[in-house]
Chains A and B, each alone.
Chain A
Amino acid sequence: MIEPELASQAVRTALERGATDAECTLAEGEEFSAQVRMRALETLKDAGSRRAGLRVLIGQHVGSAHTSDLSHAGISQMVESALAVAAISTEDPYAGLPESSELGSLTGDLRLYSDDIHKFDTAARIQAAMDAEEAALAWDPRITNSEGASFSAYAGGRVFANSRGFAGSYRMSSCSLSATPVARQGDSMERDYWYSLARSHSHLDSPANVGQRAAERTVRRLGARKVPTQKAPVIFDPITARSLLGNIFEAVEGDGIYRKASFLEGKLGERVASENVTVIDDGGLAGLFGTSPFDDEGVPSRRTVVIDRGVLRSYLLNTYTARKLGMRSTGNAARGVTGNAGVGHGNFFLEKGQRPPEEIIRGIRRGLYVTELIGHGVNIVTGDYSRGAAGLWIENGEFAYPVSEITIAATLQQMLMDVEAAGSDLEFRGSVASPTLLIREMTISGQ
């Protein structure tokens, strides 16, 4: 691991050369990936890199720099570079580091790093990918091709220090297994995927499960057709519901709020969603992907209730956006290694409801079950929502046939109000998570 002291040294050097405040981030990572395709090894990648970033203040002027050269000379040049850009920036009355009293770190084992990701050698990792692909190919005769399967592993670390006395570091690990089969039936060719992602190898799903699930998801898309343009209920599966949660995050993060660039600006304390919607951000849940002991400004991670049974309770803020809004940081600063921090999330999720997803589907007479969303048709300023979709058509509570080449549209405001049910199937597959969601009505465009 990088010497954590290097960050504190860079901060001291910056202060010696004229900065009034400084913060330094070091990041390093090692990546491994093995990709197989049609039962043969295709790609092996194995490498690591390191990076340092510095942000300085000269009074209320801010400048940032970063480098891949962590030698003494490289760090020295980074300090000079940051000071040089600070000189051309404008005075910003709101710029500054968190107050010393706000700094700190969660204690206890957050289970972000596990040595067991190194337990398997290259051959075993390749075999895991082979097994996942084989499971997909064997699942159904219509699976005739594959875009491959892959195993990847990552181990890295992050160090942060600032001139208000904060110094902290943590290590992270992850591994993942995925498969992308291709199915064919007549003229119809479809692909889909499935994956498992975990901080430790022992929590990874089995290759057989990953492959089978990928195959099921792919085969069920075959023979997809368009449906007539209409208004109908729409069920988001947990994968597509995640992307909707991502849109909610964009609408509550402080940057868009203070700029008045979000449809949820000025709505604190108001009803913005149905009672079925409770949204939480929690950066302290052990072993998950949105977890960290402190945010990227050295403020401890925490749990924030964002929407409580439909009522907007809190925005997510870093130090800068909090000052702009006259509020306090919620420990949500995020950045690469340098620059002014943006706002990120911890584990951002919608709380599960009572009904199993099967029951929600059974309750729909005619509607759409969405399994894939593509494109970028979401406008956080206005709330306008229109995305390309694929999924399954529901008739009388049963899946009738697959659909594709359609779009679904509404406004986020209306969709949030129209959440009629959240399923009981909340599962974390990354830092954003949602159970199955039923939206009362959206416009479906097809034929």
Chain B
Amino acid sequence: MPLSDSFFGQKFGITEHDLESYLSEALGAGGDYADLYFEYLATSQLSIDESIVKSAVQGVSLGVGVRVIWGERTGYAYSDDLSPEKIRKAARVAACIASGPSKVDKTGFVEARRRDLYPVVTAPNETSLADRVELVKRADLAARAADRRVFQVQASYADSLCHVLIATSDGVLSTDRQPLARLGVAVLAREGAGVSQRGYSGGGGRVGLEFFETEHTPEHFAREAVRQAIVQLDAVPAPAGEMTVVLGPGWPGVLLHEAVGHGLEADFNRKKVSAFSGRIGQLVASPLCTVVDDGTIRNRRGSLNVDDEGAPTQENVLIDKGVLRGYLYDKLSSRLLHSKTTGSGRRESYQHIPMPRMTNTFMLAGDSDPEEIIRSTPRGLYCANFGGGQVDITSGNFVFSASESYLIEDGHITRPVRGAMLTGNGPEALKYVSMVGHDLKLDEGIGICGKEGQSVPVGVGIPTVKIDRMTVGGTGG
């Protein structure tokens, strides 16, 4: 699509000539590379609470970020005003990082080959508010109808439509239209005068509103949230100490995100501060484990046609049959480490500097029957769902908290437990994987990853996996 037909061409009259002149301004004091990131973001949020649609918010945000790279140095500035004089001013501020003769790069842009991983004709943000409000109303009704012990229901829906234009001094010109939608249901349930328990379920992706019509309906998420809360009503305190842990398929893939993914982001490895630094080619997991990060899966929450530096996303093999194969690179780290970008440069908004990030991270399916995995476990913990996790990439130590887990006794899933926290060490934990199920499942599309103050949407996935040894932190015996 020619720039003149693109969103920014049409709405703001931005031309290739303009982009070239801003980039020249940015390289006016030298520097190796410069880029521009234009962003127009329209958002909506709706929520129902006590069966009342109490809050509805719509917003727009517009701006451009200018970056100059000179060796290992980065200069960055942004403007929320797209007038040429303000963009030029931002370019001059970013240029302060470099000192030397102005550098005029080759002129002209090559537009990246286009693909469409999220062919959404009408983005949710472009539909009527009345249609979207129905989603939370339906979720509220379904959750209240599902079980009499439910006494609080909050359903929230949020969507955004982000238009980006990325132009770089090495001649890349990319535009993208990125829809995103997410529906979540949180409930509280209580039996008589007993302790209240929470349940949460949600999903979404880079999808149209039709996504919520089949399978991923408000009723589906509502019933799942209620099921989780009700299960917790009978839960016993989590055990404490080292034991066998079986992860259920889907969202428990957040283990990979924490234990492996962050430690393989190239910025940490460039600085040699990751527990995985210098370990390419080494065995860091059991040979049953192959872990990939794939930004090209259709309609997924973590997917992108191009990353936030204009590079196409791709499937990156991180661990192949237990052996560490590669890192996730953005442009800066790939320049400095003499590698290629893996399409992993992401940022929260035009106000943020890109860095290597994950997209959709998951373990490939194995051969084992999930039921056999449970049967083979005399005593352990089965984790069906998780809250969040966190990792210290330098020591490699990570934790994540289980929101739904059960004891495994004599090869059977028995009592639900509450408040279980798992902890381990990244390069060590996956060495204890002894069985991998054939039931790979990706999460339902609610993941948010935070790094250095920047949040981006991500996906995770995993088949049923047995880990022979892991520390479980609870209060029980």
Residues of A372-409 at the interface with B, using a CB-CB cut-off of 8 Å, are 372, 374-377, 379, 381-382, 384-388, 390, 404-409
- With A and B bound together, what is the CA distance between A150 and B76 in angstroms? 15
Within 8 A of B (CB), among A34-91: 37, 40-47, 49-51, 53, 62-69, 77, 81-82, 84-86, 88-91
**Beta-carbon contacts of A205-227 to B below 8 Å, as 1s and 0s?**
00000000000000001001010
Query: Is the CB–CB distance between A229 and B241 below 8 Å?
Result: yes
Contact pick for A191, options B97, B394, B401, B421, CB 8 Å: B394
CB of A157 closer than 8 Å to a CB of B: no
Assess whether B60 is interfacial by the CB under 8 Å rule: yes
Which residues from chain B contact A388 at a C-beta distance below 8 Å?
390, 397-399, 421, 423, 473
Do A406 and B473 form a contact, CB below 8 Å, given A375-B401, A388-B399? Answer: yes
Complex Cα distance, B57 from A86, in Å, reads 9
A340 at the interface (CB under 8 A from B): yes
Q: Does A443 contact B (CB under 8 A)?
A: yes
Chain B residues with Cβ below 8 Å from A287 are none
Residues in chain A near residue B76, CB distance under 8 A: 43-47
Q: A85 contacts B188, CB within 8 Å?
A: no
Does the CB pair B188–A259 fall under 8 Å? yes
List, in ascending order, chain B residues with CB within 8 A of A190's CB: 394-395
- The complex places the Cα of A123 from the Cα of B400 at a distance, in Å, of 42
A377-B130 in contact (CB<8A): no
The verdict on B297 contacting chain A, using a C-beta distance below 8 Å, is no
Interface string of B66-101 (1 = CB under 8 A from A): 000000111111111000000000100100110000
Chain B residues in 8 Å Cβ range of A46: 76-77, 93, 96
Residue of B nearest to A55 (CB): B57
Report the Cα distance A64→B44, complex, angstroms: 10
Contact between A90 and B421, CB atoms less than 8 A apart: no
A388 to B59, CA, bound (A): 37
Contact call B73/A145, Cβ cutoff below 8 A: no
| Most chain B CB atoms below 10 A, which of A62, A68, A375, A382 | A375
Closest residue of chain B to A340, judged by CB? Answer: B55
In the assembled complex, B326 has its CB within 8 A of some CB on chain A: no
The answer to whether A376 touches B387, judged by C-beta atoms less than 8 angstroms apart, is yes
> By the criterion CB–CB under 8 Å, are B53 and A88 in contact?
yes
Chain A residues near B420 (CB-CB < 8 A): 386
The interface residues of chain A lying within 8 Å CB-to-CB of B165 are none
B397: chain A residues at CB < 8 Å are 374, 388, 390, 404-405
For A145, the chain B residues whose CB sits under 8 A away are: 271-273
Query: Looking at the complex, which of B104-112, B193-201, B366-374 is the stretch in contact with chain A?
Result: B193-201
A95 at the interface (CB under 8 A from B): yes
Return chain A residues, CB-CB under 8 Å to B51: 90
Bound-complex Cα distance A90 to B134 (A): 12
- Taking A43-B74, A84-B129 as contacts, is the C-beta distance between A445 and B471 under 8 angstroms? yes
With known contacts A44-B76, A63-B56, A182–B90 Cβ distance under 8 A: no
Q: Which of B45, B52, B273, B419 contacts A409 (CB 8 A)?
A: B419
Tell whether A62 pairs with B240 under 8 Å between CB atoms, given A190-B394, A224-B395, A388-B473.
no
Any B CB within 8 A of the CB of A410 = yes
A47 and B91 alpha carbons, distance in the complex (Å): 11
* Contact residues, B245-283 vs A (CB, 8 A): 271-273, 275
Contact B56 A88 (CB under 8 A): yes
Output the nearest chain B residue to A28 by Cβ-Cβ distance.
B80
**A interface size (C-beta, 8 A):** 77
B421 near A382 (CB under 8 angstroms)?
no
Asked if B54 CB lies within 8 Å of chain A CBs, one says yes
A-B pairs with beta carbons under 8 A, tally: 250
Chain A residues with CB under 8 Å of B391's CB are: 374
Q: CB-CB < 8 A to A390: which residues of B?
A: 392, 395, 397
Interface membership of A424, Cβ < 8 A: no
Q: For A163, list chain B residues within 8 Å (CB).
A: none
* Pairwise interchain contact B471-A89, C-beta atoms closer than 8 A: no
Chain B 403-419 residues near chain A, CB threshold 8 A: 418-419
Q: Using Cβ atoms and an 8 Å threshold, which residues of chain B touch A91?
A: 52
Q: Which residues of A contact B390 (CB under 8 A)?
A: 374-376, 388
Question: Are A405 and B54 in contact (CB-based, < 8 A)?
Answer: no
- By a CB distance below 8 angstroms, the chain A residues around B474 are 386, 409, 443, 445
Residues of the B chain whose Cβ atoms lie less than 8 Å from the Cβ of A45: 75-77, 353
Q: How far is the CA of A447 from the CA of B52 in the complex (A)?
A: 49
Complex contact B242–A387 (CB within 8 A): no
**Contact yes or no, A64 B55, CB < 8 A:** yes
At the interface, yes or no: A122 with Cβ under 8 Å from chain B? yes
A189-B395, A406-B423 known; A386-B401 Cβ under 8 A: yes
B77 proximity list for chain A (CB < 8 A): 45-47
Does A92 interact with chain B (Cβ within 8 Å)?
A: yes
Which A residues lie within 8 Å of B133 (CB)?
88
Docked complex Cα distance between A153 and B391 (Å): 28
Q: Is B459 among interface residues, defined by CB-CB distance under 8 A?
A: no
Give Cα A188–Cα B48 distance, bound, in whole angstroms.
Answer: 49
A334 to chain B, nearest CB (A): 15
Residues on the A chain within 8 Å of B45, using CB: 339
- From known contacts A42-B72, A43-B73, A69-B60, infer whether A189 and B473 are also in contact, taking CB-CB under 8 Å: no
Is B58 interfacial (CB 8 A cutoff)? yes
Cross-chain contact B58 with A384 (CB below 8 angstroms): no
User: Residue on B with the closest CB to A218?
Assistant: B394
A41, A77, A376, A388 pick with most chain B CB within 10 angstroms: A388
The 8 Å CB contact of B78, one of A47, A259, A376, is: A47
Taking the closest CB of chain B, its distance from the CB of A60, in whole angstroms, is 10
Measured CB to CB, the nearest residue on chain A to B70 is A41
Q: Is the CB of A382 within 8 A of B271?
A: no
A259 to B153 Cα, complex, angstroms = 10
**A67 partner residues in chain B, CB cutoff 8 A:** 59-61
B270 to chain A, nearest CB (A): 10
Taking a contact as CB atoms under 8 Å apart, the answer to whether A69 and B62 are in contact is yes
B residues in contact with A37, CB < 8 Å: 72, 271
Residue pair B196, A40 in contact (C-beta under 8 Å): no
Taking CB atoms, residues of chain A closer than 8 Å to B399 are: 374-375, 377, 387-388, 407
By CB atoms of chain A within 10 A, which of B129, B271, B421 has the most? B421
- Is B240 a contact partner of A260 (Cβ separation < 8 A)? no
Contact B152 A260 (CB under 8 A): yes
Q: List 5 A-B contacts (CB under 8 A).
A: A66-B58, A88-B53, A95-B54, A374-B392, A445-B421
Known: A49-B63, A77-B60; 14 extra A-B contacts, CB below 8 A, are A45-B76, A64-B56, A82-B58, A182-B394, A226-B471, A229-B241, A375-B423, A377-B421, A386-B475, A387-B399, A388-B397, A388-B399, A390-B392, A447-B241
For the complex of A and B, 10 pairs with smallest distance between CB atoms: A407-B473, A388-B399, A384-B419, A375-B399, A85-B56, A445-B473, A377-B401, A66-B59, A386-B421, A191-B394
Interface residues of B (CB under 8 A from A): 44-45, 48, 51-63, 72-80, 90, 93, 96-97, 129-130, 133, 151-152, 188, 195-198, 238, 240-242, 271-273, 275, 351, 353, 387-392, 394-395, 397-401, 418-421, 423-425, 471-475
